[in-house]
Amino acid sequence: MRKRAAIVAALALSACGEPVPQEKAAYVGEWRGENMALAISQDGRVAYKRVKGSASTSVDAPIQRFEGDSFVVGVAFMSTRFEVSRAPWQDAGHWKMVVDGVELTKVR
């Protein structure tokens, strides 16, 4: 019984993301680009959807860690890395970021 409780507790803790660090605060918000939507909350939750042809990919999970400008999202042993080739920057009053080769604009 204790072993089962420890496993459940470990899974629950692994499902919790870390809040977005202050130095990455510009990442927080809703981002849109061609066939891609990405939402990053201050508490470290990520909601992502991308359409390529007739296939679509969705992720709804916490951020596990940042690796430079990129970040890893997932739960326990299942994770995916979002490759940020250009961290958030302002262009003519709009925030932009390049993730997985797609230029995104912050909409909120």
At 18, the pLDDT band (50, 70, 90 cuts) reads confident
| Calpha distance 18→3 (Å, rounded) | 26
Do the beta carbons of residue 86 and residue 95 sit within 8 Å? no
Domains and CATH numbers, the chain: 2-106 (2.40.128)
As to burial, measured by CB atoms within 10 angstroms (0-12 exposed, 13-18 middle, 19+ buried), residue 78 is: exposed
Rounded to the nearest 10 degrees, how much is the dihedral formed by the CA atoms of 82, 84, 87, 90? Answer: -90
- Summarize pLDDT for 51-71 with one digit per residue, the tens: 999 999 999 999 999 999 999
Structure confidence at residue 4 (pLDDT): 45
Amino acid identity, position 12: A
Mean pLDDT of 73-93: 96
Mean pLDDT of 8-30: 75
